[in-house]
C-alpha cells in the first residue's frame, strides 16, 4: 500500500511539475489582457462632410497595422501589443500586450489579429473580438523574422520574403505559397526557389508576385485549395519587368508596371494599360510594409501609389477616380470620398473632382496618412499617432480652402 501511495505521489508531482513548466513557458503567463466590460456600439453613418474640423483627441500608435476598425472600435498598436480605442473620444476600450515584440496586426472578420515575434519568428498569433477584446483563437508556427500583413475584411494572414499565407477566422491556415520554413511535403510548391515580393487578397482570391532570379512572375490562385500546403495556381505569368500589385478580383488583376497601370485577366493576359501620374515603386523582397498600399472601400479597392490615390471599381477593376498628391487611403462620408492631402482633407466627388479641402494642421511632415470615418468622427493614422477629428462648432470653423 505504501509503495502504491509513493508511486501515486511521484506521478502527481511529475504531472504538477510538467503543468507548472508548461504554464511558465506559456504566452498566458507573459500576457497583459485588459478586456472591456461593455462593447461600444457601432458608430452610425455620418451625413455630408462637415464644413470644418477640429482635433478632439490624439493617441500614440506604432504604425504596425493597416488603418482600420469595426463595430465601434479602432485598432492602434505599440511595440508589445494592440489596443482598441473609442473613435469618439480616444478612450481605451481594451488592450492586449505580451513581453515579446509585436510584428504586425490587422482587422478581419470583426476581430483584431496580433502577430508576435517568438523564438521561431513572427509566428505567434492571437485574435480578439474588436468590440470588447474577448479572446477568440491562437496559432503558433515557424515563421520569418519580418512579416507584412496580408489580409482582407474576411481573411487574415502575413507575407515575408519567403512565404505568403492566409488564415480563416479560427486562424487555421488555408493556403501558403513560397518557401515554407519547414516544408512538410517537398515538391508541393510551384516556385520554391523564388522570393515573394508582393501579395494581395480579396474574397477567395490570392495574387502573388515572385522574383525568380530577376524575373518577376505573377501567380493567381484560389485561397482555399484542397491542401493548405499545396497551392493550386490558375495562372503563372512572366511579366516584362518589376511590378506592384494594385487590386484583384475573381477574374482580373491590376498591377503597377513601371509608369503604367495594367489590367490583366484571370490568365494574366493584358487587357488595358493606362499611364500613372508618376512611376510606381516596384515591390521588392527587402520591403516589408507595415501598411499595405491597398485598402477596401465597400465595392471598390483603393491603391496608394503612382503619385497619388487610385480607386478601382470591383469586380471589373475599372478605374473610378484618381486623387494626385494624396498622402494615403481615404474613406466614404455621405456621397463623397474623403482623402488626406497636404494641408487637409480633400472632399472628392465620385467623378474625381475635388470640391473643397478641409484644413488640417498635421505639422511639418506627417508622413503617410490613412483616413477612416466612424460616424461623425474622422480618424487619421499618421506617423507615430492616431488622431480623432470632429466637426468644428460654428465659432471655430476656419474657411475651407478652394480645391
Spatial distance between the Cα atoms of 84 and 132, rounded to a whole number of angstroms: 8
Q: Residue 99: which region, alpha, beta or left (left: phi > 0; alpha: psi -120 to 50)? A: alpha
DSSP 278-330: SPPPPP-TT---SS-SEEEETTEEEEEETTEEEEEETTTTEEEEEEET--S--
Using CB atoms within 10 Å of the CB of residue 267, give its burial: 0 to 12 exposed, 13 to 18 middle, 19+ buried. exposed
What does each C-alpha distance from 153 to 176, 220, 222, 307 come to in angstroms? 19, 19, 16, 26
204: preceding bond cis by omega (within 30 degrees): no
Spatial distance between the Cα atoms of 351 and 338, rounded to a whole number of angstroms: 13
In tens digits, the chain (403 residues) has pLDDT values of: 455 555 444 444 443 333 333 433 455 548 999 998 777 788 777 789 999 999 999 999 999 999 999 878 999 999 999 999 999 999 999 999 999 999 999 999 999 999 999 999 999 999 999 999 999 999 999 999 999 999 999 999 999 999 999 999 999 999 999 999 877 777 899 999 999 999 999 999 999 999 999 999 999 999 999 999 999 999 999 999 999 999 999 999 999 999 999 999 999 999 999 999 999 999 988 788 889 999 999 899 999 998 999 999 999 999 999 999 999 999 999 999 999 999 999 999 999 999 999 999 998 888 999 999 999 999 999 999 999 999 998 766 666 666 7
Spatial distance between the Cα atoms of 262 and 273, rounded to a whole number of angstroms: 5
Q: Which domains does the chain have, with CATH numbers?
A: 35-402 (2.130.10.10)
DSSP 119-176: TTEEEEEEEEETTT--EEEEEE----SS-EE--BTTBEEEE-SSEEEEE-TT--EEEE
Helix (H) or strand (E) holding 23: helix 2-24
Amino acid at each position: 500500500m505504501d509503495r502504491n501511495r509513493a508511486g501515486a505521489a511521484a506521478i502527481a508531482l511529475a504531472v504538477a511539475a510538467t503543468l507548472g513548466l508548461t504554464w511558465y513557458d506559456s504566452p498566458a503567463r507573459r500576457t497583459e489582457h485588459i478586456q472591456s466590460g461593455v462593447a461600444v456600439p457601432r458608430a452610425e453613418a455620418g451625413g455630408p462632410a462637415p464644413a470644418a474640423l477640429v482635433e478632439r483627441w490624439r493617441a500614440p500608435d506604432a504604425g504596425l497595422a493597416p488603418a482600420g476598425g469595426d463595430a465601434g472600435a479602432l485598432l492602434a498598436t505599440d511595440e508589445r501589443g494592440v489596443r482598441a480605442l473609442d473613435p469618439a473620444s480616444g478612450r481605451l476600450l481594451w488592450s492586449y500586450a505580451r513581453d515579446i515584440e509585436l510584428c504586425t496586426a490587422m482587422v478581419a472578420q470583426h476581430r483584431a489579429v496580433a502577430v508576435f515575434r517568438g523564438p521561431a519568428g513572427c509566428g505567434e498569433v492571437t485574435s480578439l473580438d474588436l468590440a470588447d477584446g474577448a479572446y477568440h483563437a491562437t496559432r503558433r508556427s515557424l515563421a520569418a523574422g519580418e512579416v507584412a500583413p496580408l489580409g482582407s475584411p474576411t481573411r487574415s494572414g502575413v507575407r515575408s520574403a519567403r512565404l505568403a499565407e492566409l488564415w480563416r477566422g479560427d486562424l487555421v491556415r488555408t493556403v501558403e505559397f513560397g518557401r515554407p520554413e519547414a516544408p512538410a511535403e517537398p515538391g508541393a510548391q510551384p516556385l520554391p526557389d523564388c522570393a515573394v515580393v508582393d501579395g494581395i487578397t480579396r474574397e477567395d482570391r490570392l495574387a502573388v508576385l515572385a522574383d525568380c532570379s530577376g524575373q518577376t512572375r505573377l501567380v493567381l490562385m484560389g485561397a482555399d485549395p484542397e491542401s493548405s500546403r499545396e497551392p493550386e495556381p490558375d495562372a503563372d505569368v512572366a511579366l516584362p519587368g518589376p511590378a506592384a500589385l494594385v487590386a484583384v478580383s475573381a477574374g482580373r488583376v491590376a498591377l503597377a508596371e513601371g509608369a503604367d497601370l495594367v489590367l490583366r485577366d484571370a490568365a494574366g493576359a493584358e487587357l488595358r494599360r493606362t499611364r500613372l501620374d508618376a512611376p510606381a515603386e516596384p515591390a521588392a523582397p527587402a520591403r516589408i510594409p507595415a501598411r499595405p498600399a491597398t485598402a477596401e472601400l465597400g465595392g471598390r479597392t483603393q491603391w496608394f501609389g503612382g503619385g497619388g490615390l487610385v480607386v478601382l471599381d470591383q469586380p471589373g477593376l475599372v478605374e473610378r477616380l484618381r486623387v494626385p498628391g494624396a498622402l494615403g487611403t481615404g474613406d466614404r462620408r455621405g456621397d463623397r470620398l474623403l482623402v488626406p492631402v497636404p494641408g487637409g482633407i480633400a472632399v472628392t466627388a465620385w467623378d474625381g473632382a475635388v470640391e473643397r479641402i478641409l484644413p488640417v494642421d498635421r505639422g511639418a511632415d506627417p508622413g503617410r496618412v490613412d483616413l477612416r470615418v466612424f460616424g461623425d468622427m474622422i480618424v487619421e493614422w499618421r506617423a507615430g499617432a492616431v488622431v480623432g477629428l470632429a466637426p468644428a462648432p460654428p465659432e471655430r470653423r476656419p474657411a475651407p480652402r478652394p480645391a
